[in-house]
Amino acid sequence: MISPTGSYGLTALLSALLSLSTTTIATITSKGQTVELNGNIYYIPARVVTTLEGDAHVFGKLNGLQPLTVIRSDASKLTSAILDSLVSSYESADDVFNAGFLDNIYVEYNGTSKNPSQNVSTHSSWGPKILGYASAYGTKNSKTVTSSSTLPAGPYFLDPSSGAVFEAWLLYSDVMGSFTQGLISVGDDEYDVLPANLQGYASLTIGVPSRLYYTKTADKPLAGVRLGVKDIYDIKGVKTGCGNRAYYETYPVANTTGPAIQSLIDAGAIIVGKMKTSQFANGETATSDWVDYHSPFNARGDGYQDPSSSSSGPGSGIGAYDWLDLAIGSDTGGSIRNPSQVNGCFGNRPSWNLVSLDNVMPMSPLLDTAGFLTRDVQLWRAAAEVMYKDAGLKSYTKYPKSIKTIDFPTNASTPAEGLLVEFVDKLSSFLGGANVSAFDYNALWESTKPSTVAANTTLDSMLALTYPILISKQQYPLIAAPLYANYAAANGGRKPFINPVPRSRWDWGLGYPESQVDTEIEHKNTFTSWWNSTAQVFDEETCSDSLILYIGTEATPTYRNIYRSMPGIPRGFATSRIANFAGVPDMVVPIGQALYNSTITEQREYLPVAVDFLAPHGCDLMVFNLINELVEAGIVKQPGAGSTLYYNQQEGPRVGWLHTTSKSALHTWILDGIIPYKSHDFEYSAYHIMFSHHYRSDC
C-alpha cells in the first residue's frame, strides 16, 4: 500500500498537520469568478453590491448563480410596452447587457407617484421569470422583494442562496496588444490586476462594467467612462513598468495614485487597464526598437502600420476598440500627438504645467505634459475640464479670424491633399470668412529675432540640441541612475537591460557637461518668449490672434515589418517641436482618410489624414470648444474604431473628396484606380468628385 505522503505514516502526518495548525493561519480570499452567458464571458467581482430578500418561494426555485436584470421605472403603472422600451434602450446603450440577463427581473420604482401599480407578472417575448418588484410596485398578487440598497438599472448576477447581487463585467481580448495589465477597483481607490482570462494568442483580457450602472452628473461628469492609463502613471495597488522589464521587477506596487489620475477617478472614470508605452516614454518605432515588450498594433489600414509612440498603447487601443472610451497619455516631444495622428483619433498636448505630474515617470519636467486620446470630442473636452480644472483656464466661444497654415498645399495633387485643402476652406467659412495665409515661422524669426541673439542664429541652430539634451540629461538622474543602482543592489551588481533608444540617448547625454542643460533652457526660454509675443499672440476676446494649423499626417504608411537603421539622437527643430518649446497647446484633429497601396494586403486600404491646431498658452478650452462646434457643424466627423475611421467594408461604401485643378493629376488618380470612371472626357478646370470604394463603375 502506498501512503499518500510517501515515507510518512498516518500518525506522523496527523501530528505534522496539528503542529502546523498552531503556527500558521491560512487565509483564502475570493477574487471573483468567470462565467459564460449566451456565448459571452463575464467576470463577476467578489464584492457584493446589494442583497435581495424575499419569501422562500421567491428564491427557492432558483438553483446556482443566476443572471439578473434590474429595471428602474418612474411609470406610475408598469406595462409591457414600458418594459419593452426600457429593455430595448438597455440593449442599444450597453455592450455588457444581453438577453440572457432577462431570465430573472427585479423592478424598482423610481418615480414620484404615491400609489404606483404593476400589471405585468411575465413577458412572453422574453420568457423571463419575474423575480419580484420593489415594495413600491408590490400588490397582493405580486412578489415583493426588498433590497439592502438601491441598484442602478442593468445586468447583474444573483446568488439565490444568500440573495447577494454582483456586478457583471464583460471580458474582451486585447488582440492589438495595447495593454500591459487589465485592472479592477478593489475599494478605497485601490486597484488590482483583473484575475480573469479569455482564450487568445498572447492576448491580455480586459473587463468592462455595464454602462447602465452610471449616470453622469455635475459632480461625476465622467461617470462610467472606460479609461485606459499609460503605464507611466502610478495607480495605487499596481506596479508601474514604464515599458521596461527590469523596472517592473525592481520596484514595488504603487502606494499612491497621482493627482492627474485621481481627478479622473473622482469624476467617475472607470480604469480598465494600464496601457503600453515605449520604453521610458522615449520615441521608438515598431518593431525592432521594441525589445523588452512587443509594440502594440495599429488597427488602421492593413493593421501592420507603426502605432507611433510613446503613448503607443493609448493610441492603439482608442483606434481599435469601440469598448474603450478614453485614454490618458503623456506628451514630451509628440508622444500623444503622433499616436493620435496615425491611429485616427483626437489627441491633445495641453499647455505646459496645467496639472501636477506627481507620481508620473518624468522624461523632462520642463517639457512633460498629460493629455488625452479619444474618438469623442464631447468626452475629450469633459475630461480636460476635469483634469485641468485647477489651472484656471477660461472658456471662449468667439474664435480668431485669422488662419495661418504651415506647409499646407494650395492645389491638391493627392486625395490627402484634397482633404486638407477642403478642410481649410470649410474652417475659414465657418469662422465667417477668416483670412487664410501661409505661415513661414523661419522667415518671421529672421526678421524679428531678439537683439540678444546673434544675427546668424537660425531656429534650427539655436534649438539643435535643446530637445535631446533636456530629455537625456534630465531623465538620467531621475530614472536611469536610481534604476541602475537599485537593480544592481538586488542582482549582484548586474546592470539592467535598456532598449536601444533610451540607452543611446542616455549615453549620448552623459558626454555633455551639466552646464549644457542651462544653455538649452536659455535657448528654450528665448524661443518661448519670442513665439508668444510675435508668432501667435494672446487676444482678450478670442484668446488668440490666430489659429495655426500644420499637417499631422497625410495617410503615409510606416510599416512595422521594415528593418531600420540604429536609432539616432533627435536633434534639430521642426514644426512639431513648437508646442514643446513654447509651452502651448497642440491638438490633433482627424479630418478624413485616404487610400494607399498596402504591401501587406496587396489591396488599397485607408489611413488617417489629420491636422494639428496650435494656440497660445492657456487657450486650450477655446480650441476644445471650436473643435466641438466643427463636429456639430459636420465639418469634422468623429471617427469610429477599426481599420477605417468611418466605415468598414461590410457597412457600405467609404466616401471621400478629391480636389484638384490639375487634369493630369485627375487622370493619374483614375488610372491608378483611386477613383472609378465612366469617361475620361473632362472639360472643367476644377473637380469635386465623390468616389465609392466599392462601386467603381460610378463616377
Residue 2 pLDDT class (50, 70, 90 cuts): very low
Q: Please tell me whether residues 140 and 50 are part of one structural domain.
A: yes
Q: Are the CB atoms for 298 and 306 separated by under 8 Å?
A: yes
Check residue 472 and give its pLDDT: 99
Most confident listed range (43-47, 55-59, 677-681): 43-47
Amino acid identity at 379: L
Q: Please check whether residue 484 lies inside any domain of the structure.
A: yes
- Is there a single domain that holds both residue 162 and residue 175? no
HSE-CB of 172 using CA atoms within 13 angstroms: 24
Given this model, what pLDDT does residue 132 score?
64
198-232 per-position pLDDT tens digit: 998 889 999 999 999 999 999 999 999 999 999 99
pLDDT in tens, 176-195: 999 999 999 998 889 999 99
The cell numbers describing 684, all together, are 472643367
**Position 235 pLDDT exceeds 50:** yes
Q: Looking at 146, 167, 188, which one is the last position of a domain?
A: 167
Confidence of residue 74 (pLDDT cuts 50, 70, 90): confident
Question: In a 3-state reduction of DSSP, which class is residue 648?
Answer: coil
595, burial (CB in 10 Å: exposed 0-12, middle 13-18, buried 19+) = buried
Cell of 367: 517639457
Quick one: 275 and 393 in the same domain?
yes
Band (pLDDT 50/70/90 cuts) for residue 123 is low
Write down which residue in 477, 505, 526 finishes a domain.
526
Asked if 208 and 357 sit in the same domain, the reply is yes
578, 611, 633 — which closes off a domain? 633
Q: Both 224 and 317 in a single domain?
A: yes
For 697, list phi and psi in degrees, rounded to 5.
-85, -10
Would you say residue 22 has pLDDT above 80? no
The answer to whether the peptide bond before residue 660 is cis (omega within 30 degrees of 0) is: no
Question: H-helix or E-strand containing 667?
Answer: helix 663-672
* Residue 613 maps to a domain: yes
Asked whether residue 147 carries a pLDDT value surpassing 90, the answer given is: no
Say if residue 411's pLDDT is above 70. Answer: yes
Task: With cut-offs at 50, 70 and 90, classify the pLDDT of residue 6.
Answer: very low
Per-residue pLDDT, 150: 84
Residue predicted with more confidence, 546 or 82: 546
From start to end of 174-316, where are the E strands?
A: 179-187, 190-193, 205-209, 226-230, 270-275
466-477: pLDDT as tens digits: 999 999 999 999
Same-domain status, 283 and 432: yes
pLDDT of residue 83: 85
Q: Judge if 268 and 405 occupy the same domain.
A: yes
Tell me what pLDDT residue 125 has. Answer: 54
Domain assignment of residue 51, yes or no: yes
Nine-digit cell string for 275: 496601457
Residue with cell 519636467: 365
Residue 405, domain member (yes or no): yes
> Per the domain annotation, does 649 fall within a domain?
no
**CA 264 to chain CA mean position, Å:** 13
What is the structure's pLDDT at 469?
99
pLDDT confidence of residue 663: 46
User: Roughly how many angstroms between the first and final C-alpha of the chain, as a whole number?
Assistant: 86
| Residue 17 confidence (pLDDT) | 44
The pLDDT mean for the chain works out to 88
Q: Are residues 209 and 260 in the same domain?
A: yes
Q: Answer whether residue 608 is part of any domain.
A: yes
509 and 404, same structural domain? no
> Residues 519-545: pLDDT tens digits?
999 999 999 999 999 999 999 999 999
351 and 228 in a single domain? The answer is yes
Q: Give the global pTM.
A: 0.89
Whether residue 266 is found in the same domain as residue 370: yes
Residue 657 lies in a domain: no
Q: What is the mean pLDDT of residues 100-118?
A: 78
SS3 435: strand
Q: At 385, which CATH number?
A: 3.90.1300.10
Residues in the chain: 699
- 131 — pLDDT class (breaks 50, 70, 90): low
Helix (H/G/I), strand (E/B), else coil: 14: helix
pLDDT in tens, 324-361: 999 999 999 999 999 999 999 999 999 999 999 999 99
DSSP-assigned states of every residue in 484-525: HHHHHHHTTTPPPP--HHHHHHHHHHTTS-THHHHHHHHHHH
Q: Print the domain residue range for 112.
A: 33-167
Domain count, the chain: 3
Q: Please give the Cα distance from 605 to 601 (Å, whole number).
A: 8
Same domain, 497 and 549: no
In a domain, 436, yes or no: yes
Residue 309 confidence (pLDDT) above 60: yes
The C-alpha atoms of residue 226 and residue 440 are separated, in whole angstroms, by: 41
